[in-house]
Amino acid sequence: MPNNTLSALTQSENLRQKNTLNLIAPENYPSPKVFELLGSLWSNKYGEGYPGKRYYAGNENTDTLETFVQQKALEVYKASENYGVNVQVLSGSPANGMVYLSVLNSGDTIMSLNLANGGHISHLHATSNWNKFFKLVNYDVKEISGKSENQTFEIDVEDFKQKLQDFKPKLVIIGFSAYPRKYEFNQMCRLAHEAGSLVLADIAHINGLVAAELHAAPFGAGIDSADFISMTTHKTFRGPRGAMVFARNCIPEFLSQHFENPENWLPGMKKPPTSLIELVNKTVFPGTSGGPHFNQMAAIGQCCLEILGEDEYPDKIDFKAYSQNVLNTCKALENSLHENGLEVVSPTQNHLCLVKFPEEIDSLEAQKKLEEIGIITNRNSIPFDKKTPWKPSGMRFGTAALTSRGLTTEMAKDLGKIIAEVVFGKVSDNQAKAKVAEIVSLLSWWY
């Protein structure tokens, strides 16, 4: 008799996702066409190397596939003039690692946003294994004054400039995981380059907003743009779990000094690199990886087509309108959370919002209570948090996933009220579950 465990688990997970309200900021719901390709026979093929130069036979179609996906990814960001793209990297954290290994030597310094105050775990932190090879320096946020009764923390540009001067990092990372504000990429890239640093912009969270031209972009030709751009392909991009790395298709004059010394070339290189994408490609293969996952690559290509309007998501809403809806629902949710007694940390300018709980509220218990009534969230540290990362002071919410299912601003307001009622114990479990079920009943489910 066949063992039906996996089928039963998959059906159970389908029902869990369908019947709950997902507010995890990095999650989303790709189109059925993306899933079809992700589970397709592209998974059968092995193809170490790059188009036109594989170590296996039978790659005429995969060569065309990879070139096509690269082309569409560059079109999404109008970046083909200044960048190349690697679509073989498997996920976001390894994508960042590919950049580190492309241009850094052991002992070099990386500067990134403090993890505790909004940065990402892949940008190094106190317990990161990358600390075996590189030195870590953090820039930080500061509270800015304003008329709002909420606290507002933004990047401390003076701290950023001072750290550049004091530590002279080889690589500066501009990116975040729990930072609700917008990044001023041009200013930060320019300051880093003027200090002699290379720049990696990690736009994993906001790449869909950048593609929709609703957030500043780090792409460009000059000193005020990033040398490398990494991203995942889920989150606001609404594709499969995957990643891409963009890198300059040249070595600009203001970066040439980094590559004058052969010690800064990759192992086995016999002449200076001619582009940064060359370094990334050689680091991915043969430097660290074997055969690419063509099924994932094809699925990334599909979501690029949906972003470009050459295919469509099941709701037939164009991608820019969807992305604007994400911003609108997130702001409506945040306003409702605040109106119902929760303190907002840095009013949102993107797809996620962050709130602070009163001192007596246990964030882990609040997360569990919300999960029990069908709201899926994640507790999160807030800037300069005095509590532990396991039981931090705050909670992070994102609306990209539910907006893909048709969440409206009115529903988002209702959802904010339910969350506050549960956190403050103002509603019974049965009442809360009924309210969640009512919202769920209004949402689409594409699978």
Could you write out the three-class secondary structure of the chain?
CCCCHHHHHHHHHHHHHHCCEECCCCCCCCCHHHHHHHCCHHHHCCCCEECCEECCCCCHHHHHHHHHHHHHHHHHCCCCCCEEEECCCCCHHHHHHHHHHHHCCCCCEEEEECHHHCCCHHHCCCCCHHHHCCEEEEECEEECCCCCCCECEEECHHHHHHHHHHHCCCEEEEECCCCCCCCCHHHHHHHHHHCCCEEEEECCCCHHHHHCCCCCCCCCCCCCCCCEEEEECCHHHCCCCCEEEEEECCCCHHHHHHHCCHHHCCCCCCCCCCCHHHHHHHHHHHHHCCCCCHHHHHHHHHHHHHHHCCCCCCCCCCHHHHHHHHHHHHHHHHHHHHHCCCEEECCCCCCEEEEECCCCCCHHHHHHHHHHCCEECEEECCCCCCCCCCCCCEEEEECHHHHHCCCCHHHHHHHHHHHHHHHCCCCCHHHHHHHHHHHHHHCCCCC
The catalytic residue among 18, 33, 46, 318 is 46
Clarify whether 371 is annotated catalytic. no
The catalytic residue among 45, 163, 181, 241 is 241
The catalytic residue among 18, 33, 48, 142 is 48
Clarify whether 232 is annotated catalytic. yes
The catalytic residue among 181, 235, 238, 417 is 235
The catalytic residue among 140, 202, 306, 421 is 202
Clarify whether 241 is annotated catalytic. yes
Clarify whether 202 is annotated catalytic. yes
The catalytic residue among 109, 152, 232, 348 is 232
Active site residues: 46, 48, 202, 232, 235, 241
